[in-house]
């Protein structure tokens, strides 16, 4: 067994144009003061990292790493969630997802995808330069609009969709393999990889590529009404990243899983600050520790009620209180005896 590392914080939702949230130095000092030991860096935030340069220059990465370590922090992982989303975009979502791309690639889906793929490949190299073995992203989606199909999906559509998704990701996965870095997909509604079955479909489509792994976030499974505890039993070998994000699901006679197009605060399923929702983190931390999952516990704040500042303040101590120091000793070792084969035979009644 291994002790989960942490607490750490994902910086994406805390970015702002006001200090201390508008610079890497300010965020590092803020996170360290709150008791965090690591930060997860969203690579689309150019004030935090120049991803292209990080993929090209080990010196740049050494300088970046040293700066962060000067605050007593570690880089837990890099994230390319927004770029990963753009690897596979159905045309119905082109206009909205253009917001994730630089101005030069908007209104040009082909160029936008090429940029996203290049970003992922830079992220693989940057992760290696930073001595990171895992990386987090989204899969993107070609099929999400058919998740609850009407009219019915034609035969072969799902298979073709996953074949195309795998085709787009294979060059990226091969680059991650060359760099010795595991690529962890956040299994998430809106992505083609949104539960266990779809993760397995993608794994099959990539011929069980050894760099295909999981960023485990139980909040997304609460909203899907999926058993997030049993999920760990099925996929613990693939769980290489962990987001500590809470959620709740409170259906009524008027709304359920789909939410009625309401704002987050009005939905039956909504994200909450860690400890304020329905996720059983005590059991999750126990399961991940039991299976020896070598992960950082990274607080991700997305709450429609509590402020990000309060969520961050409470998040560090919440994670710390749930981390289990993995035992290296069996509790009944004191009653053990040396192995004696003749004695074992007598206990079993074997002549």
pLDDT tens digits, one per residue of 216-253: 999 999 999 999 999 999 999 999 999 999 999 999 99
Q: C-alpha 14: how far from its chain's center?
A: 17
Full-model pTM? 0.95
SS3 content of the chain, % helix, strand, coil (to 5): 45, 15, 40
By the 10 Å C-beta count (0-12 exposed, 13-18 middle, 19+ buried), 109 is classed as middle
**Does pLDDT of 336 surpass 80?**
no
User: 212-216 and 182-186: which strand pairing?
Assistant: parallel
Q: Which residues have C-beta within 8 Å of that of residue 61, sequence separation ≥ 6?
A: 54, 126, 129, 130
What's the pLDDT score for residue 331? 66
Q: Which residues have C-beta within 8 Å of that of residue 262, sequence separation ≥ 6?
A: 255
Question: pLDDT-based confidence at 335, cuts 50/70/90?
Answer: low
Residue 236 near residue 287, CB atoms below 8 Å: yes
Domain ranges of the chain: 5-348
Of 242, 178, 188, nearest in space to 216 by CA? 242
* Distance separating alpha carbons of residues 243 and 301, to the nearest angstrom: 9
Helix H or strand E encompassing 234 = helix 228-235
What's the pLDDT score for residue 314? 98
**Encoded tokens for 260:** 């009625």
**Encoded tokens for 344:** 């074992």
**Does pLDDT of 306 surpass 90?**
yes
Q: What is the pLDDT of residues 33-73, one digit of tens each?
A: 999 999 999 999 999 999 999 999 999 999 999 999 999 99
3-state secondary structure of 272: strand
- What percent of the chain lies above the pLDDT cut of 90? 94
What's the CATH number for 5-348?
Answer: 3.20.20.150
Helix H or strand E encompassing 6 = strand 5-10
What's the pLDDT score for residue 238? 98
**Does pLDDT of 88 surpass 80?**
yes
Tracing tokens 């962990």 back to the chain, one arrives at 242
Average pLDDT for 177-200: 98
Question: pLDDT-based confidence at 102, cuts 50/70/90?
Answer: very high
Residue 117 near residue 172, CB atoms below 8 Å: yes
Mean pLDDT for the chain overall:
96
DSSP 256: -
* Distance separating alpha carbons of residues 123 and 81, to the nearest angstrom: 11
């Amino acid at each position: 067994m291994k002790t989960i590392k942490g607490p750490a914080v994902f910086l994406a939702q805390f970015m702002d144009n006001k200090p201390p949230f508008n610079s890497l130095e300010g965020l590092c000092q803020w996170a360290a003061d709150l008791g965090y030991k690591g930060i997860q860096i969203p690579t689309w935030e150019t004030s935090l990292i120049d991803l292209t340069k990080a993929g090209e220059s080990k010196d740049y990465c050494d300088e970046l790493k040293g700066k962060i370590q000067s605050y007593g922090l570690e880089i837990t992982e890099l994230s390319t969630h927004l770029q990963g989303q753009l690897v596979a975009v159905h045309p119905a979502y082109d206009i909205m997802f253009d917001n994730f791309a630089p101005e030069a690639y908007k209104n040009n889906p082909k160029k936008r995808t090429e940029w996203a793929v290049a970003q992922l490949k830079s992220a693989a190299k940057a992760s290696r330069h930073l001595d990171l073995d895992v990386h987090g992203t989204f899969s993107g989606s070609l099929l999400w609009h058919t998740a609850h199909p009407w009219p019915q999906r034609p035969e072969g559509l799902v298979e073709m969709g996953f074949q195309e998704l795998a085709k787009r990701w294979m060059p990226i996965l091969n680059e991650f393999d060359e760099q010795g870095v595991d690529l962890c997909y956040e299994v998430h509604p809106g992505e083609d990889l949104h539960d266990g079955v779809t993760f397995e479909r993608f794994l099959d489509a990539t011929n069980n590529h050894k760099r295909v792994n999981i960023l485990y976030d139980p909040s997304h499974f609460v909203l899907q009404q999926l058993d997030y505890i049993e999920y760990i039993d099925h996929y613990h070998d693939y769980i290489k990243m962990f987001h500590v994000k809470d959620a709740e699901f409170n259906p009524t006679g008027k709304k359920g899983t789909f939410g009625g197009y309401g704002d987050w605060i009005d939905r039956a399923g909504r994200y909450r600050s860690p400890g304020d929702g329905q996720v059983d983190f005590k059991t999750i931390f126990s399961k991940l520790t039991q299976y020896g999952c070598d992960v950082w516990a990274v607080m991700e704040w997305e709450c429609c009620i509590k402020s990000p500042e309060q969520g961050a303040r409470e998040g560090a101590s919440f994670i710390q209180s749930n981390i289990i120091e993995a035992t290296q000793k069996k509790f009944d070792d004191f009653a053990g005896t040396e192995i004696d084969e003749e004695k074992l035979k007598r206990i079993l009644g074997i002549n």
